[in-house]
Structure 1
Amino acid sequence: MKRSGILNRQLAGALAELGHGDGVLVCDAGMPIPDGPRVVDLSFRAGVPSFAEVLDGLIDELVIEGGTAADEVRDANPETARLLAGRVPGLSHVPHEELKRLTAGARLVVRTGEARPYANVLLRCGVFF
């Protein structure tokens, strides 16, 4: 049994399969999930687990070289906008409709129980060397 880190076996296994340049969408409970990417749904109840908890856990496990969030997060959810700006290197913003289109190219989707708007980010995996 693992001692620490991500204990969810589906998520831990999916993370181990990622490579440089792969996309990981971390999303709120309301984000439409496209057909194609592997999905690990962690949502339990509204707000559980939170977007911040899941994002922090993924950042601890992955090398992140960049990310993309919706422009709308800045006005509709400033707390999440600040969280993303402080934790995601190379963060860029696009209109929400464009972010939804970009998610089709993600390799993995991690759905949280977050119930605040625009708590979504498409992370781009880096490499540790």
Structure 2
Amino acid sequence: MKKSGILNRHLAGAIAELGHGDTVLVCDAGMPIPSGPRVVDLAFRAGTPSFAEVLDGLLDELVVEGATAAEEIREANPAAKALLGTRFPRLELVPHDDLKALTATARLVVRTGEARPYANVLLRCGVFF
């Protein structure tokens, strides 16, 4: 049994399969998820687990070379925008409809229980060397 890191076997296994250039969507409970990407649904109750908890857990295990969020986050969810700004100084912002379209090409979607709007980010995996 693992003693640290991500303990959810479905999520740990999905992370192990990611490669350079693959994308991972970390999303709130309301984000529409298209058919295609592998989905690990961590949502338990509204707000649990939070977007921040899941994002930070993933960032402990992933090499991320870029991140994209919806530009609507600026006004609709300033707390999530501030969080993403500290994690990704070069965060790319696109219209929400464009982010939803990009989700169709994601390799993995991790759904949180977050109940605040636009708490979504598409991570692009890098390499550790």
Partner of 2:116: 116
Partner of 2:92: 92
Q: Classify 1:128/1:89 alpha carbon distance in 2 versus 1 (closer, same or farther; 3 Å).
A: farther
- Structure 2: any 5+ residue segments left out of the alignment? none
Q: Deviations over 1:23-78 (max 9, x none)?
A: 00000000000110000000000000000000000000000000100000010100
The RMSD of aligned alpha carbons is 0.7
Displacement of 1:90: 3.3
Runs of 4+ in 1 over 6 A off after TM superposition: none
| Number of residue-to-residue matches in the alignment | 129
Secondary structure of 1:15 counterpart: helix
1:15-26 matches, within 5 Å, as: 15-26=15-26
Q: 1 CA distance for matches of 2:112 and 2:49?
A: 6
Partner of 1:66: 66
Q: 2 CA distance for matches of 1:111 and 1:44?
A: 10
Displacement of 1:91: 1.3
Secondary structure of 1:101 counterpart: helix
1:1-129 matches, within 5 Å, as: 1-88=1-88, 90-129=90-129
Q: TM-score, normalised by structure 2?
A: 0.98
